[in-house]
């Protein structure tokens, strides 16, 4: 008698959490093989005649190629932005401007799934994050600033505001769409026009945003999106007809920009690097704190300017916290960014993976003890296991320099004064986190930590209504909230 063949489908279960693969479909996203420059409301071939590829860092496969804007292309974009400013945008009643910004917000929501997939494909971040954080927060920024456009007299009572003119905006690769929204929305709400350059490795969602801007029928030239490398960014910074530079990126490039605009009357906001301290007191709810630390350092592979990349744990709970952290790290899934179960996706580029690996070596050479989770990682693409270092000295480079990867440096402390001194002892001052049961301790810490944002019993929370920015080498100026409006106007 013939035995009946079993038709059970064999599923490959993930070893860490026994979850079957749950990949998002690539077919919901349309990526053209080539993108031109978005200038004056149209996609224009670059005068440079040059293009460069952008890859999926999880597979190393080419996704598309984008134009490389040279000086002449930057000139064209700035000219379009100036004409749109003079002839259309600054004259338009604010409530009309607001309608366009609302329209962009709604269109991002309508195409949210496509944006999330492309963000994960081009940059490597887990789809759960691009779907639940990047894309909705980007839409929220447009909604929020659309609301302010015709209410500037309430934002700045008894004062009159004037737009600055043409804003040059340069953004990094860690939150490509969200950074574009952070920059474009307040600029438009206050009556400025824009030339924006996304980062070399993640240009696609900005170009998709250009498609939306075109469909939204924004007057030509109000927003121009041009792709290219550092030289394109420098050409924007140095262009004489730019009135404001809004830059998010590394402290090194921030310093170059500061030097370049010294002696000009260009305004600037610089959102630069960070090395945030996450501080756990012995009275904190430890499981909740450990979750916060995990989110603080492993969110977006640690490619976060405000990542909690240093952890200070009060001595009496040090061992317990480190044990809990290791246990939690073991459950994390590193792999395909498009899988809905993935916790840590791909490192954004080969170059960034090399930087992270360099710091892993430096940390060990400095005498710190490295621990990595035992999870499997894909053989192709750029991946890094979640990593922590203990036995870290305050002077160690892994405790002082921004690594921009899933790497946490852990130290202990005994007293409040000691941890305040240690937390403040870096060149940066972007963010910090405090975990304690005592409200008085929270107030004491938040007033003494030199960081633009201090989270209490939570971490990495963002909202368009809340200003964000740094002290010291983390830059100056604020984005988000009312402060974000002030950065785009002259107040008279």
Rounded to a whole number of angstroms, the minimum distance from the CB of residue 170 to ligand NAP is 5
Catalytic residue among 271, 402, 473, 479: 271
Structure tokens at 118: 């492309």
Catalytic residue among 119, 200, 305, 473: 305
Of ligand NAP, Mg ion, none, which one does residue 172 interact with (CB within 5 to 8 Å by kind)? ligand NAP
- The total number of residues written for the chain in this structure: 492
Rounded to a whole number of angstroms, the minimum distance from the CB of residue 191 to ligand NAP is 24
- Residue 193 interacts with Mg ion (CB under 5 A)? no
Pairing of strands 387-390, 407-413: parallel
- DSSP labels, 290-326: HHHHHHHHHGGGG--TT---EEEEEGGGHHHHHHHHH
Smaller CB separation from Mg ion, 53 or 427 = 53
- Alpha-carbon distance of 258 to 249, in angstroms, equals 13
Structure tokens at 476: 């100056």
Q: What is the DSSP letter of 437?
A: S
Rounded to a whole number of angstroms, the minimum distance from the CB of residue 50 to ligand NAP is 13
- Alpha-carbon distance of 201 to 186, in angstroms, equals 25
Chain positions 197 to 236 lying near Mg ion, rule: CB under 5 A, are 201
Q: Contact at 8 Å (CB) between 452 and 478?
A: yes
Site size with Mg ion, rule: CB under 5 A? 3
Rounded to a whole number of angstroms, the minimum distance from the CB of residue 312 to Mg ion is 35
Smaller CB separation from Mg ion, 122 or 473 = 122
Smaller CB separation from Mg ion, 125 or 141 = 125
Rounded to a whole number of angstroms, the minimum distance from the CB of residue 68 to ligand NAP is 10
Inter-CA distances, 450 with 23, 195, 259, 436, 437, Å: 42, 33, 25, 19, 22
Structure tokens at 256: 């170059």
Of ligand NAP, Mg ion, none, which one does residue 248 interact with (CB within 5 to 8 Å by kind)? ligand NAP
Of Mg ion, ligand NAP, none, which one does residue 199 interact with (CB within 5 to 8 Å by kind)? ligand NAP
- Alpha-carbon distance of 385 to 406, in angstroms, equals 7
- Residue 54 interacts with Mg ion (CB under 5 A)? yes
Smaller CB separation from ligand NAP, 221 or 470 = 470
Of Mg ion, ligand NAP, none, which one does residue 122 interact with (CB within 5 to 8 Å by kind)? Mg ion
Positive or negative: CA dihedral 266, 271, 273, 275:
positive
**Judged by CB under 5 A, which stretch of 51-59, 152-160, 327-335, 429-437 contacts Mg ion?**
51-59
**Judged by CB under 5 A, which stretch of 26-34, 46-54, 294-302, 327-335 contacts Mg ion?**
46-54
Rounded to a whole number of angstroms, the minimum distance from the CB of residue 197 to ligand NAP is 6
Positive or negative: CA dihedral 121, 30, 47, 196:
negative
- Work out the widest C-alpha separation in the chain, in whole angstroms: 93
- Alpha-carbon distance of 210 to 220, in angstroms, equals 11
Smaller CB separation from ligand NAP, 220 or 230 = 230
Structure-derived torsion over alpha carbons of residues 184, 188, 192, 196, reported in degrees to the nearest 10: 20
Query: Quick check: is 418 catalytic?
Result: no
**By Cβ distance, which residue is nearest to ligand NAP?**
233
Structure tokens at 325: 């952290």
- Residue 390 interacts with Mg ion (CB under 5 A)? no
Q: What is the CA radius of gyration of the chain?
A: 23
Of ligand NAP, Mg ion, none, which one does residue 347 interact with (CB within 5 to 8 Å by kind)? none
Question: Which residues are near ligand NAP by CB under 6 A?
Answer: 170-174, 197, 199-200, 229-230, 233-234, 237, 248-250, 253, 256-257, 271-274, 305, 402, 404, 430, 470, 474-475
Smaller CB separation from Mg ion, 57 or 274 = 57
Structure tokens at 409: 């440096």
CB half-sphere exposure, 414, CA atoms < 13 A? 0
Query: Quick check: is 305 catalytic?
Result: yes
Structure tokens at 113: 């799934």
Smaller CB separation from ligand NAP, 37 or 237 = 237
Chain positions 94 to 153 lying near Mg ion, rule: CB under 5 A, are 122
Positive or negative: CA dihedral 395, 396, 397, 399:
negative
Binding site for Mg ion (CB under 5 A): 54, 122, 201
Task: Give the catalytic positions in this structure.
Answer: 271, 305
């Amino acid at each position: 008698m013939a035995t009946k063949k079993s038709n059970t489908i064999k599923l490959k279960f993930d070893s860490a959490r026994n979850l079957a693969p749950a990949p998002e479909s690539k077919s919901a996203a349309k990526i053209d093989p080539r993108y031109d420059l978005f200038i004056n409301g149209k996609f224009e071939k670059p005068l440079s005649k040059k293009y460069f590829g952008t890859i999926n860092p999880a597979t190393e496969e080419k996704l598309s190629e984008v134009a490389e804007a040279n000086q002449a292309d930057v000139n064209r974009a700035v000219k379009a932005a100036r004409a749109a400013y003079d002839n259309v945008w600054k004259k338009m009643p604010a409530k009309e401007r607001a309608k366009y910004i609302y329209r962009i917000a709604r269109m991002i929501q309508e195409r949210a799934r496509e944006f999330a997939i492309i963000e994960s494909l081009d940059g490597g971040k887990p789809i759960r994050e691009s779907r639940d954080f990047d894309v909705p927060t980007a839409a929220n920024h447009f909604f929020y600033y659309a609301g302010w456009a015709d209410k500037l007299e309430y934002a700045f009572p008894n004062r009159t505001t004037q737009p600055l003119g043409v804003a040059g905006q340069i953004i990094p690769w860690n939150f490509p769409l969200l950074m574009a929204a952070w920059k474009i929305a307040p600029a438009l709400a206050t009556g400025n026009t824009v030339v924006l350059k996304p980062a070399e490795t993640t240009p696609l969602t900005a170009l998709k945003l250009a498609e939306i801007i075109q469909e939204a029928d924004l007057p030509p030239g109000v927003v121009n999106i041009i792709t290219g490398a550092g030289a394109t960014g420098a050409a924007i910074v140095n262009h004489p007809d730019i009135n404001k530079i809004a830059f998010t990126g590394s402290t090194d490039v921030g310093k170059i920009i500061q030097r370049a605009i010294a002696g000009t009357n260009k305004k600037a906001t610089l959102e630069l690097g960070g090395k945030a301290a996450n501080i756990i007191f012995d009275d904190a709810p430890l499981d909740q704190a450990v979750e916060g630390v995990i989110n603080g350092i492993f969110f977006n592979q640690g490619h976060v300017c405000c990542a909690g990349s240093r952890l200070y744990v009060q001595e009496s709970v040090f061992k317990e916290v480190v044990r809990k952290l290791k246990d939690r790290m073991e459950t994390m899934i590193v792999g395909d960014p498009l899988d809905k179960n993935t916790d840590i996706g791909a490192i954004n580029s080969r170059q960034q993976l090399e930087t992270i690996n360099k710091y892993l070596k430096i940390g060990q050479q400095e005498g710190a003890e490295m621990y990595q989770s035992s999870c499997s990682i894909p053989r192709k693409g750029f991946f890094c296991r979640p990593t922590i270092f203990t036995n870290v000295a305050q002077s160690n480079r892994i405790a002082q320099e921004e690594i921009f990867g899933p790497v946490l440096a852990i130290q202990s402390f005994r007293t409040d004064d000691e941890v305040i001194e240690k937390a403040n002892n870096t060149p940066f001052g972007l963010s910090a986190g405090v975990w304690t049961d005592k409200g008085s301790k929270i107030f004491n810490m938040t007033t003494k930590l030199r960081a633009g944002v201090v989270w209490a019993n939570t971490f990495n929370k963002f909202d368009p209504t809340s200003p964000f920015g740094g002290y010291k080498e983390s830059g100056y100026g604020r984005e988000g909230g009312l402060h974000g409006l002030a950065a785009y106007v002259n107040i008279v």
